[in-house]
Amino acid sequence: MRKRGILITGAAGEIGDSLIRSLSDQGETQIVTLDLRPLPPENAKLSTHIQGDLMDQALLARLVSEYEIATIYHLAALLSTRAEFSPEMAHQVNVEGTLHLLRLASEQSQWRGEPVLFLFPSSIAAYGMPNLETKAQYPRVREWEWNYPTTMYGCNKLYCEMLGIYYSQYFRQLAADRPVTLDFRALRFPGLISAFTVPSGGTSDYGPEMLHYAAKGEAYAAFVREDTCIPFMAMPDAVTALLKLAAVPARALSRRVYNVTSFSLTAAEFGEMVQRFFPQAQITFKPDLKRQGIVDSWPAGLNDNDARRDWGWKPTYDLERSFSEYLVPNISQRYQPA
Ligand code: AKB
């Protein structure tokens, strides 16, 4: 008899770190995690961890022979900056890895006679604003606007959203007896900021890096101009959004891909916020023109009206609360000498 479980890929990453704890608090009995890396000990206690490669088909086959997977949180990805250095590897992990899992979810849905729920974190990187004038003219983009990503990661995210929709709605559309297919749902996240993990390989990383360096008492040179503006969200809200979207009945959803956001601010304003809580922080701005180009192509804000209307999305942590109640206390504690 197979055990029923929730699968989290990329579980050792930033979202996975918080998601495992929240799912475990919700009393989810069997959380199965998959990552190339081991989990930190406190999360390893909460799940059954498989250290392995998403691209390993034999491993996935073994996984479904042991577990009946009802829900998948597919978090594994190479982020935007890293993906530009190894675009083909990024394509392999971000697209082929997703395809493997969509296939697995599809087969499982058919086998169970009930759709497997497939949650996919997408990103502001799916957008591509052609220049700063346009970015200023469209400060809160809708899901269907400016879908012209300029990075491999952004292309991967946008295409995987489409693949997810394809597998949910059109897979085997010509078959006489069309089988039950999966239920794909995606969130386009802004830059995420966690108090418990330091990001790596992303291009929105300058925000969280300012905070983590300040708390460590180290100087930090942000790789963007002071006027650079993108949206951000505190990690607990990202996890809440994923769990809320997972819980909502399919009939309430008018789309499969939703924008969600919390607050937008410039890099200078981010720095001022950090300085307010860490007056000793030494923050300077030394733009890296190439990474700057990527952030400039991302929108300054997202319009998340559809998520608010369809499933009651609302961030709990605005800018002030993110810093004063979540980020600053937890990051300060993290770097306190033992
Ligand atoms: C990145 O910077 O690549 C990610 C993202 C915005 O999706 N944090």
CB-side exposure of 330: number of CA atoms within 13 Å? 16
Tokens 């890929």 — which residue? Answer: 9
Q: How confident is the model at residue 186 (pLDDT cuts 50, 70, 90)?
A: very high
Is any ligand 1 atom within 6 A of the Cβ of residue 125?
A: yes
Domain span at 258:
77-191+233-263+298-317
Distances (CA, A) of 191 to 1, 50, 203, 250: 41, 28, 9, 27
Q: Whose CA is nearest to atom 7 of ligand 1?
A: 123
In a domain, 117, yes or no: yes
pLDDT at residue 103, rounded to an integer: 95
Model confidence at 179, pLDDT cuts 50, 70, 90, reads confident
Cα 180 from Cα 119, distance rounded (Å): 17
Residue 125 lies in a domain: yes
Instruction: Check which CATH number belongs to the domain holding 176 and give it.
Output: 3.40.50.720
- Number of domains making up the chain: 1
**Pair of tokens at residue 57:** 């088909």
Residues in the chain: 338
User: For residue 338, is pLDDT > 80?
Assistant: no
pLDDT category at 245 given cuts 50, 70, 90 is very high
Ligand 1 site-directed mutation target among 14, 123, 150, 157, most atoms within 8 Å of CB: 123
Express each pLDDT in 17-49 by its tens digit: 999 999 999 987 799 999 999 999 999 999 999
Look at residue 115 and tell me if it is in a domain.
Answer: yes
Q: Which of 153, 206, 213, 258 is catalytic?
A: 153
Q: What is the pLDDT of residue 23?
A: 95
Q: Which 8-state DSSP code applies to residue 180?
A: P
In a domain, 255, yes or no: yes
Tokens representing 135? 């970015």
pLDDT at 336 over 90: no
Average pLDDT of the residues in 2-16 = 95
Given a cut of 90, whether residue 299 has pLDDT beyond it is yes
Q: Are strands 257-259 and 283-285 parallel, antiparallel or unpaired?
A: unpaired
pLDDT at 206 over 90: yes
**Ligand 1 neighbour 127 (Cβ under 6 A):** no
